[in-house]
Chain A
Amino acid sequence: MSAQRESHAPGLAVPALPVAEAQAPAVPLWTAVGALLRKELRVELRTLESVPGMSLFALSTFVVFHFALNRTSVEGDLATGVLWVTLLFAALLGVNRLFVADAEEGGLDGFLMAPVDRTALLVAKQLTLLCYLVVLELVAVPAFALLLSVPFAHALPDLLLVLLLADLGIAVVGTLVAALAVQTRARDLLGPLLGLPLLVPVVIGAARATSPLLVAGHSGGPGARWLAMLALYDLIFGLIAYAVFDFLLED
């Protein structure tokens, strides 16, 4: 008897929840996204759980780079590497925390009971992570310029464009990875392990686009090819995340 109880035959596979499909979402998507985003930002403002940690981590990493490289100033490829490694790892800190409060305090259950499209949570979390990254960079990029005396004041608009496109990619991929990792036992380990390979193309595009901007006498923009690649990657993974995210929220 115990064999029959513990094993579930393929024929008895759990069907997709009919309840969620039956009732049409009563709240428009963007209303739900706005409400969720406000809630996320309010929680972050009250707890200060992610963004200060990410910013502090970035600052410490610049100091570490200063001593590890034994340099007072960096430029070109080296500066690009320092910037993107720091931003990427700081972003992964935020990715690791993104769904933890919801999973532990029952926020996900509450969301699943609400009559809204599940995509709303995906979009809201992506926007939240994007906000975190923007604030992180508001702190980290000036600090990077000050601490390691990087010459890029003249290329700021181009750099902002690259940062924005890369942030979009990190937000899209990071949200998916965070949702995957949060229900696992080893979530702190799996988040970065899954995230780093998936973000390599973003790093490639961002680093190649950034490195000509961080040279003293630079001329020319960040290279349209790399910006196009970043945008395309953002788009592809945005669609993939949209397609698979619902399956992560079924319990």
Chain B
Amino acid sequence: MYGRGLRALSISTVVAVAAALTLVFFYAPLEAEQGFLQKIFYLHVPLAIISLCGFVVGGVFAIAYLRTRDSRWDLRSYVTIHMSLIFALATLITGSIWAKGSWGHWWVWSEPTLVSFLIVFLLYATYQPLRFSIEDPERQARYASVFAITAGAFVPANFIAVRLSTQYLHPRVLGSTSNLPGPMALTFLVALGAWTLLFVTLCKYELTAKHARFQLRALRRRLAGEQSRPAPRRRSAAPEPGAGPAKLGARVAGGGASS
């Protein structure tokens, strides 16, 4: 169910990322002050935008879960937040490298975006421990959704608070596309699109993989029959929605038995 369109999505992602990287390295002009280092902007800023949007989208999926109580929404919320967390970590690392390159320090407290990003990252880093420490699946989904909604609303609130707290604002020459020269703006938008596609593809892969794993587990249990083995120790905090429709399980189980 989740695997449909995965190949087309993957191919378009590869093409888009290749195009974006080509534009970044061969088309976009070198920035006058920072030179080659400024190219990290085409990676860092899109990653930051995507991960923040991902956090908020995870909150929206969580609202959908609480409204419908359909555990697929919870799985989507989990996957989105999980992937956003990875992107956020990449954002922090690339931001740190950029800060070291252009300001000479790995970490700059006077840059509000960096600081608020760190706070948001720290908050979402507790999402997985929260899920892990709740046993009951239904309650886990419910509590994780409440967390996702609260944290999703916290993202903009936190950015406003931290932005207010910094007197010195880093000149945001590269902050928006409006004051970028044409080729740079075009490259930035293509890069944003490419990394967004990458995000969506990775989310879809994770959803598909999780779903396949649940199906596999359900089939194993069926094969084991009455003397079902104890459930394997869970290594992921991912929600476990319904392990697929029964008829699909029966079909594949039949194939497995004949071999």
Interface residues of A (CB under 8 A from B): 1-4, 6-16, 176, 180-181, 183-187, 189-190, 193-194, 196-198, 200-201, 204-205, 208, 225, 229, 233, 236-237, 240-241, 243-244, 247-248, 250-251
A248 near B126 (CB under 8 angstroms)?
no
CA of A121 to CA of B53 in the docked complex: distance in angstroms?
33
Which of these, B129, B151, B162, B225, contacts A193 with CB under 8 Å? B129
Most chain B CB within 10 A, of A13, A176, A205, is at A13
B158 near A201 (CB under 8 angstroms)?
yes
Residues of B with C-beta under 8 A to A240: 149-150, 153
A9 near B242 (CB under 8 angstroms)?
yes
Residues of B with C-beta under 8 A to A11: 242
B143 near A248 (CB under 8 angstroms)?
yes
B89 vs chain A, min Cβ distance (A): 15
B131 vs chain A, min Cβ distance (A): 9
Residues of A with C-beta under 8 A to B133: 184-187, 190
Knowing A3-B218, A10-B72, the reply to whether A194 touches B126 (Cβ < 8 A) is: yes
What 1/0 mask marks residues of chain B from 184 to 227 whose CB sits below 8 Å from any chain A CB? 00000000000000000000000000000010001101101110
Knowing A6-B221, A15-B69, A183-B143, the reply to whether A197 touches B123 (Cβ < 8 A) is: yes
A248 near B146 (CB under 8 angstroms)?
yes
Most chain A CB within 10 A, of B71, B151, B165, is at B165
A244 near B149 (CB under 8 angstroms)?
yes
Chain B residue nearest to A192 (CB atoms) is B126
Per DSSP, chain A at the interface is: helix
What 1/0 mask marks residues of chain B from 226 to 244 whose CB sits below 8 Å from any chain A CB? 1010000000000011110
A204 near B161 (CB under 8 angstroms)?
yes
A200 near B142 (CB under 8 angstroms)?
no
Per DSSP, chain B at the interface is: helix
A229 near B129 (CB under 8 angstroms)?
no
CA of A11 to CA of B71 in the docked complex: distance in angstroms?
9
A183 near B139 (CB under 8 angstroms)?
yes
Chain B residue nearest to A202 (CB atoms) is B161
A244 near B69 (CB under 8 angstroms)?
no
B15 touches A (CB below 8 Å): no
Residues of A with C-beta under 8 A to B145: 247
B123 near A194 (CB under 8 angstroms)?
yes
Residues of B with C-beta under 8 A to A187: 133
Knowing A184-B134, A193-B126, A200-B158, the reply to whether A250 touches B246 (Cβ < 8 A) is: no
B111 touches A (CB below 8 Å): no
Chain B residue nearest to A2 (CB atoms) is B228
CA of A45 to CA of B180 in the docked complex: distance in angstroms?
63
CA of A232 to CA of B62 in the docked complex: distance in angstroms?
24
CA of A16 to CA of B145 in the docked complex: distance in angstroms?
15
B138 near A14 (CB under 8 angstroms)?
yes
A-B complex: 8 closest residue pairs judged by Cβ atoms: A201-B161, A197-B123, A9-B242, A184-B133, A7-B243, A185-B133, A13-B69, A3-B221
Residues of A with C-beta under 8 A to B224: 2
Chain B residue nearest to A243 (CB atoms) is B149
Which of these, B120, B129, B164, B243, contacts A3 with CB under 8 Å? B243
A–B pairs, 11, beta carbons within 8 Å: A3-B249, A9-B246, A186-B132, A189-B129, A190-B130, A193-B126, A200-B161, A236-B157, A247-B66, A247-B145, A250-B142
B168 vs chain A, min Cβ distance (A): 14
Knowing A185-B134, A240-B149, the reply to whether A197 touches B142 (Cβ < 8 A) is: no
B130 near A184 (CB under 8 angstroms)?
yes
B153 near A197 (CB under 8 angstroms)?
no
A233 near B161 (CB under 8 angstroms)?
yes
Which of these, A6, A180, A196, A241, contacts B130 with CB under 8 Å? A180
A205 near B123 (CB under 8 angstroms)?
no
Residues of A with C-beta under 8 A to B138: 14
A2 near B139 (CB under 8 angstroms)?
no
CA of A88 to CA of B225 in the docked complex: distance in angstroms?
54
Residues of B with C-beta under 8 A to A250: 142
B134 near A194 (CB under 8 angstroms)?
no
CA of A152 to CA of B212 in the docked complex: distance in angstroms?
63
CA of A56 to CA of B68 in the docked complex: distance in angstroms?
46
Chain A residue nearest to B130 (CB atoms) is A190
Chain B, 17-68, CB within 8 A of any chain A CB: 66, 68
